[in-house]
Structure 1
Amino acid sequence: MDNDENITRSKEICENYLTFLDKHIDDVVNGRNAEFLEINKIASELAISHTHLIDVLQQEMGNHPCYFYDLKIIERAKEMLVNSQLSIAKIAEILTYDPSNFSKFFKKWTGITPGDFRQKNF
């Protein structure tokens, strides 16, 4: 495989991973999946090794796959906080989090609590 094919394959893996995350998060939110898959299971679904997925994402996109996973969960949480009347506890539950852990996770990523985020964006 020459270098151009390698670069193309790496970009394809990144795109496939991000697309998979979008669909998977949507499946969890809409009850088609009971819980979030671990990275090694996602790699298996993408027909690549866990290590290769980590290496490619870090090389191509500068971060571990978990970073993008968490980022996409936060994006979905923000969307739900702004576009639904669901309680923060219910959003946490839908996203498979305990409410207090969800608030800590959300604040770590955004710098504010889910309640403050909803208030500022409502």
Structure 2
Amino acid sequence: MALSQAALTRKEEITTSFLQLMEEHIADLLSGRAEGRFSATEFARRLYIHPRHLTNTLRETTGRSPCDFMEQRILAEAQQMLRATELSIADIGYRFGYNDPTNFTKFFKGMAGITPLQYRKSQRETKI
């Protein structure tokens, strides 16, 4: 039983460490201290574990992959920026490592179901 509890504790530690590192990375992206998004491989490297181990651990403890977490956080931050700032869609995309605004628009539409411009307009209409 002690081994099982230790394994669970280690998995929880990895999950917590990943989530903390991800939040720090999002903050670095938003502030311009990071030039590109980390891959699952980069997160794993910084946690001193194999990328497959990171992915398997997160799936086991949360049911989600590292990419799922990053995509959801980027979407949430992008939506906030579209609501609260006048930054161009391209500038918002650049903050998250999308060097081509078209790729950011494709990502956003795939996640939210509408383009960033449509989202921004819909948020302004609800304020009126």
Which whole-Å CA distance do the structure 2 matches of 1:96 and 1:35 have between them?
A: 4
1:114 is the counterpart of 2:119: no
Q: Once the two structures are aligned, what percentage of the paired residues are identical?
A: 35
Which whole-Å CA distance do the structure 1 matches of 2:79 and 2:57 have between them?
A: 28
Which whole-Å CA distance do the structure 1 matches of 2:46 and 2:3 have between them?
A: 26
Larger radius of gyration: 2
Which whole-Å CA distance do the structure 2 matches of 1:66 and 1:92 have between them?
A: 17
One-letter amino acid of the counterpart of residue 17, structure 1: F
Give runs of aligned pairs for residues 1-122 of structure 1, distance below 5 A. Answer: 2-97=3-98, 98-122=100-124
One-letter amino acid of the counterpart of residue 24, structure 1: H
1:121, distance to aligned residue in structure 2 (A): 2.1
- Which ranges of structure 2 fall in alignment gaps of 5 or more residues? none
SS of alignment partner, residue 34 of structure 1: coil
Alignment root-mean-square deviation, CA: 1.4
Return structure 1 stretches of 4+ with deviation > 4 angstroms.
none
The count of corresponding residues between Structure 1 and Structure 2 is 122
One-letter amino acid of the counterpart of residue 114, structure 2: I
- Which ranges of structure 1 fall in alignment gaps of 5 or more residues? none
1:107, distance to aligned residue in structure 2 (A): 0.8
Which whole-Å CA distance do the structure 1 matches of 2:46 and 2:37 have between them?
A: 13
One-letter amino acid of the counterpart of residue 47, structure 2: L
